[in-house]
């Protein structure tokens, strides 16, 4: 039994996320966590809301709420939606937790001791119209690197170059649109990432099994131009973790908070403390401290490609720079973007399907299946309603759902609602078992490698094999000449339903639970040996014909939804 620490990128607090966000981190992380648990491994799966920073302040102001209240409410909203999608977090924490406050202050103090923090009096952009310093993300302008005209003050979304607001050409406030900006002096703390460059390069170079998508982004940031730059870790804001040196005050930094990029990833660790403090676990250090048992932990992070620089460089700079025995990430699984019906998802224009809306129109398994089987791994992928309808109707309804329906109904009509006895398996059954064995081993390999689409393809092929067997064996014909043989065939097929429930559960947990209930079993043991697994339900074991496992999406529904989620078009 191995030990797996799994984290998903932390969703930001200021609103409900769309399906592209879901498939870019939380959902594949859940798939992996569920699979590892199903194989008997010990798993700690953590996620949390990322709650600090100006966007939270602004969203709260817009909602007319105190920012702490707003974050508490939105955390509960996001937690409920996560439950709706059956995201099996061991704990869904909050970056605003007292645990994260203390740990963030600890890391800052420790990094200062290690000589990796310097105080900088810098000029920051102050907006006269807004009456405040503007955080980087609230200044936009033209990128000096590529000429993109909506580059943010911290990073250009077009060329991914890390920027300072003062680099921008023709900058303006995104709060008020005002160009009446001036530079004012203010003191901030900087993390000396440049001093960590060789350490980080050696660490990245040691990750020979990481995908090129991940290492190329890290290497670009490490080496492009002047290389990795020192970065400010504090801000002139009210909402956030107060700047302290461990438990002590930090002279000159009164009234300032840590910048959200510094405290958010530390929440991965603090979340494990929250998990213990919530009474769900009893030892977080054996997951996070290599001197206290975390040496044998495999730590995997899931995230969208835009989050890779923070997880390959910034957070490791904190972890490695502390020279304390923290567990560092072993593998980063990153994703490209999911586009929506010929364009991008857009929160501001209401374009695309958001997580709460998705659950209002169909159960989570429909979405989980489509999203995972079309995960944007090697390149961006696109959601279209035609493809969604086709995939649900074919894979889920025609292949898996139909198999279950035919087998259980046929058995009920000819043998009653229990596993029939008698007969023996023949060559057709042996061929099926051989095919299932080959495919299951391939599925296991893909799942262990986090090859999400390949896993889905293999699982679909496993479902198809059952249907093809049913066509070939045709127990309804066999029954007329040789009822004993038909009994053996249908006994195998009924066992195959349990088999499907077990191996499909990481993808479609609700349907799997429904099938397990229909088969009157809670034996979720993984089919290490397929032939043995297909004898689990013995003769005379009762079952119930389940209600429709998956329904089809009609053309009318597809058109209605397509219209409903199109959003306001750009003129």
User: Shortest gap between Cβ of 142 and Zn ion (angstroms)?
Assistant: 9
Contact 71, 60 (CB under 8 A): yes
Q: Give the closest residue to 466 by CA, choosing from 509, 499, 422, 508.
A: 499
Altogether, the residues listed in the chain come to a count of: 571
User: Between residues 225 and 422, which has the closer beta carbon with respect to Zn ion?
Assistant: 225
Of 42, 88, 114, 145, which lies in the binding site for Zn ion, with binding defined by CB under 5 A? 145
Near Zn ion in 374-413, by CB under 5 A: none
Minimum CB–partner distance for residue 155 and Zn ion (Å)? 9
- Candidates 24-32, 152-160, 202-210, 500-508: pick the segment binding Zn ion (CB under 5 A): 152-160
Piece of 93-101, 135-143, 196-204, 301-309 that binds Zn ion (CB under 5 A) = 135-143
Q: Which stretch binds Zn ion (CB under 5 A): 44-52, 101-109, 146-154, 355-363?
A: 146-154
**Interface pick for Zn ion out of 2, 61, 146, 431 (rule CB under 5 A):** 146
- Considering beta carbons, is residue 159 or 278 the nearer one to Zn ion? 159
Based on the shown chain and the rule CB under 5 A, indicate whether residue 155 belongs to the binding site for Zn ion: no
Distance CA 95, CA 72 (A): 11
- Residues making up the annotated binding site for Zn(2+) are 143, 146, 156, 159
Distance in angstroms (rounded) separating the CA atoms of residues 153 and 146 = 14
Minimum CB distance to Zn ion smaller for 170 or for 208: 170
CA separation, residue 78 to residues 17, 25, 116, 170, 565 (Å): 8, 15, 36, 37, 20
Percent composition of the chain: helix, strand, coil (DSSP 3-state, to 5): 50, 15, 35
Instruction: Report the residue number, 115 or 147, with the smaller CB distance to Zn ion.
Output: 147
Whether 465 and 494 have beta carbons less than 8 Å apart is answered as no
State which of residues 59, 71, 108, 143 lies at the interface with Zn ion (CB under 5 A).
143
2 binds Zn ion (CB under 5 A): no
Residue 333 pairs in a beta bridge with 302
Selected binder of Zn ion within 82, 139, 156, 452 (CB under 5 A): 156
Whether the Cβ atoms of residue 388 and residue 550 lie closer than 8 Å to each other: no
| Least Cβ distance, residue 347 to Zn ion (angstroms) | 22
Strands 234-235 and 91-94: unpaired
User: Contact between 61 and Zn ion (CB under 5 A)?
Assistant: no
Smallest gap from residue 156 Cβ to Zn ion (A): 3
Residue 381 backbone phi and psi in degrees, to 5 = -130, 170
Going 374 to 378 to 383 to 384, the CA torsion angle's sign is negative
Q: Which residues contact 434 (CB under 8 A, 6 or more apart)?
A: none
Q: Which of residues 320-359 bind Zn ion (CB under 5 A)?
A: none
Strand order in the sheet with 91-94: 91-94, 42-49, 3-8, 297-304, 331-335
Identify the residue among 88, 142, 155, 158 touching Zn ion (CB under 5 A).
158
Nearer to Zn ion, 158 or 290 (CB): 158
What's CA 78's distance to the chain center, in Å? Answer: 13
* Token couple for 143: 């990128």
Q: Residue 559 Cβ, how far from Zn ion at the closest point, in Å?
A: 39
Q: Is 22 in the site for Zn ion (CB under 5 A)?
A: no
With binding defined as CB under 5 A, does residue 166 bind Zn ion?
no
> Which one, 2 or 159, has the nearer CB to Zn ion?
159
By beta-carbon proximity to Zn ion, the closer residue of 146 and 548 is: 146
Which one of 19-27, 140-148, 178-186, 340-348 is the stretch in contact with Zn ion (CB under 5 A)?
Answer: 140-148
Alpha-carbon span 182 to 205, nearest angstrom: 42
Q: Which is closer to Zn ion, CB of 156 or CB of 452?
A: 156
The number of beta carbons lying within 10 Å of the beta carbon of residue 115 is: 10
Q: State the number of binding residues for Zn ion (CB under 5 A).
A: 7
Measured from the CB of residue 157, what is the shortest distance to Zn ion in angstroms?
Answer: 8
Does residue 169 belong to the site contacting Zn ion (CB under 5 A)?
no
Which residue's entry shows tokens 């704990």? 91
Q: Across-strand partners of 156?
A: none
Binding site for Zn ion (CB under 5 A): 143, 145-146, 148, 156, 158-159
């Amino acid at each position: 039994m191995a030990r797996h620490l799994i984290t998903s990128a932390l969703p930001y607090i200021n609103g409900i996320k769309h399906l592209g966000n879901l498939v870019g981190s939380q959902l594949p992380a859940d798939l992996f966590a569920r699979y590892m648990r199903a194989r008997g491994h010990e798993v700690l799966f953590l996620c949390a809301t990322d709650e600090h920073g100006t966007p939270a302040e602004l969203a709260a102001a817009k909602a007319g709420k105190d920012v702490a209240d707003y974050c508490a409410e939105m955390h509960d909203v996001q937690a409920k939606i996560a439950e709706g999608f059956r995201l099996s977090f061991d704990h869904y924490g909050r970056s605003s937790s007292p645990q994260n406050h203390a740990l963030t202050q600890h890391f800052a103090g420790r990094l200062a001791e290690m000589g990796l923090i310097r105080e900088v009096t810098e000029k920051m952009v102050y907006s006269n119209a807004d009456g405040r310093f503007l955080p980087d993300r609230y200044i936009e302008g033209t990128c000096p690197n590529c000429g993109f005209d909506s580059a943010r003050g911290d990073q250009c979304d077009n060329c991914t170059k890390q920027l300072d607001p003062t680099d921008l050409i023709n900058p303006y406030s995104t709060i008020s649109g005002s160009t009446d900006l001036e530079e004012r002096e203010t003191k901030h703390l900087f993390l000396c990432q440049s001093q960590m460059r060789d350490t980080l390069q050696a660490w990245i170079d040691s990750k020979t099994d990481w995908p090129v998508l991940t290492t190329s982004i890290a290497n670009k940031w490490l080496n492009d131009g002047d290389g990795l730059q020192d970065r400010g870790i504090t801000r002139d804001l009210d909402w956030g973790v107060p700047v302290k040196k461990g438990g002590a005050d930090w002279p000159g930094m009164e009234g300032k908070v840590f910048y959200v990029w510094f405290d958010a990833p530390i929440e991965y660790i603090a979340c494990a403390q929250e998990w213990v403090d919530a009474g769900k676990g009893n030892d977080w250090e054996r997951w996070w401290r290599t001197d206290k048992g975390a040496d044998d932990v495999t730590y995997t992070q899931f995230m969208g490609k835009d989050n890779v620089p923070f997880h390959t460089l910034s957070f490791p700079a904190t972890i490695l720079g502390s020279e304390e025995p923290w567990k560092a990430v072993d593998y980063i699984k990153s994703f490209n973007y999911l586009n929506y019906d010929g364009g991008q998802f857009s929160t501001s224009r209401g374009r695309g399907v958001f997580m709460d809306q998705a659950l209002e129109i169909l159960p989570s398994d429909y979405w989980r299946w489509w999203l995972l089987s079309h995960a944007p791994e090697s390149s961006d992928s696109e959601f279209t309603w035609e493809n969604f309808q086709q995939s649900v109707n074919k894979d889920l309804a025609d292949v898996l759902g139909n198999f279950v329906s035919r087998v259980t109904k046929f058995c009920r009509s000819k043998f009653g609602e229990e596993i029939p006895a008698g007969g023996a398996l023949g060559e057709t059954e042996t061929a099926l078992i051989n095919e299932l064995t080959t495919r299951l081993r391939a599925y296991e390999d893909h799942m262990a490698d986090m090859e999400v689409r390949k896993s889905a393809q293999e699982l679909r092929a496993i479902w198809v094999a059952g249907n093809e067997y049913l066509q070939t064996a045709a127990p309804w014909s066999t029954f007329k000449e040789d009822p004993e043989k038909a009994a053996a065939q249908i006994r195998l097929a009924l066992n195959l339903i349990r088999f499907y429930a077990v191996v499909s559960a990481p993808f479609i947990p609700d349907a799997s639970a429904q099938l397990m209930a229909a088969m009157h079993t809670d034996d979720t043991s993984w089919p290490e040996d397929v032939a043995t697994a297909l004898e689990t339900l013995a003769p005379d074991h009762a079952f119930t014909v389940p209600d429709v496992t998956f329904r089809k999406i009609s053309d009318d529904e597809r058109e209605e939804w397509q219209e409903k989620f199109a959003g306001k078009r750009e003129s």
